[in-house]
Chain A
Amino acid sequence: MNAVLTLARRELAATFDSPIAYIAATVFLVVTGLLFFFGHDGSADFFGAREATLRPLFEYAPWALAVILPAVTMRLFAEEKKSGTLELLVTLPVSDVQLVLGKLLGAVGFLVVALLVTLVFPIAVAMAGNPDLGAVAGGYLGLLLIGTAFLALGLLTSTWTHNQIVAFILGLLLCVFFWTATDALIKVAFDKPPLTLQLLSFRTQFDDFAKGVVDMRNVLYFLSVSAVAVVGSTYSLQSRHWK
Chain B
Amino acid sequence: MADGTVVRVRNLVKQYATKTALGGVSFDVHAGEIMGLLGPNGAGKSTTMKILTTYLAATSGDVAVDGVDSADDPVKVRAMLGYLPESTPLYTDMVVYDYLDYVGSMRGFKGAELRKRIGDVIRMVGLQEYVGFQIGTLSKGYRQRVGLAQAMLHNPKVLILDEPTSGLDPNQIVEIRNLIRELGKSHTVILSSHNLAEVRQICDRVVIIHRGKVVADGTIDELEGKVASTHRLILGVQPKAGAAAADVVAALKTLDGISAVHLTHEAKTPVPHANLEIEASRDVRPELFQWAQRDGHSLVELRRKAMDLEGIFQSLTQDAN
Contacts and interface: CB of A to CB of B under 8 A. Distances in A.
Interface of A: 2-3, 6-7, 10, 14, 17, 83-88, 90-95, 240-243
In the complex, the 10 A-B pairs of residues with the closest C-beta atoms, listed nearest first? A84-B89, A241-B57, A93-B79, A6-B105, A93-B78, A85-B89, A91-B53, A87-B85, A93-B75, A92-B106
A92 B79 CA distance: 7
Interface of B: 16-17, 50, 53-57, 75-76, 78-79, 81, 83, 85, 87, 89-93, 102-103, 105-108, 110, 150
B163 to A, nearest CB: 13
Contacts of A90: 55
B273 to A, nearest CB: 50
14 contacts: A2-B108, A10-B102, A14-B91, A14-B93, A83-B89, A83-B92, A88-B85, A91-B53, A91-B81, A91-B83, A92-B103, A93-B76, A95-B75, A243-B16
Contacts of A85: 89-91
Nearest to A242: B57
Contacts of A84: 85, 87, 89
A20 B74 CA distance: 35
A139 to B, nearest CB: 36
A17 B95 CA distance: 12
Given A91-B53, A242-B57, A6 B106 contact: yes
Contacts of A14: 91, 93
Interface centre among A3, A14, A241, A243, by most chain B C-beta atoms within 10 angstroms, is: A241
B91 to A, nearest CB: 6
Contact of A243 (B17, B79, B83, B87): B17
A14 B102 CA distance: 12
Chain B residues touching A, majority SS: loop
Contacts of B93: 14, 17
Nearest to A5: B105
Contacts of A6: 102, 105-106
B55 A240 contact: yes
Nearest to A86: B89
Given A6-B105, A93-B107, A240-B56, 14 more contacts: A2-B108, A3-B106, A3-B108, A6-B106, A10-B102, A83-B89, A85-B89, A85-B90, A87-B85, A91-B54, A92-B78, A92-B103, A94-B78, A243-B17
B75 A87 contact: no
A170 B235 CA distance: 66
A7 B17 CA distance: 33
A88 B57 contact: no
Contacts of A241: 56-57
B14 to A, nearest CB: 10
Contacts of B106: 3, 6-7, 92, 94
B102 A93 contact: no
Nearest to A79: B91
A84 B92 CA distance: 12
B55 A2 contact: no
Contacts of A92: 78, 103, 106-107
Nearest to A6: B105
Contact of B89 (A2, A88, A95): A88
A1 B89 CA distance: 25
A2 B17 CA distance: 38
Which residue, of A6, A85, A88, A92, has the highest number of chain B Cβ atoms within 10 A? A88
B200 to A, nearest CB: 28
B267 to A, nearest CB: 47
A16 to B, nearest CB: 12
Contact of B150 (A86, A88, A93): A88
Contacts of B50: 87
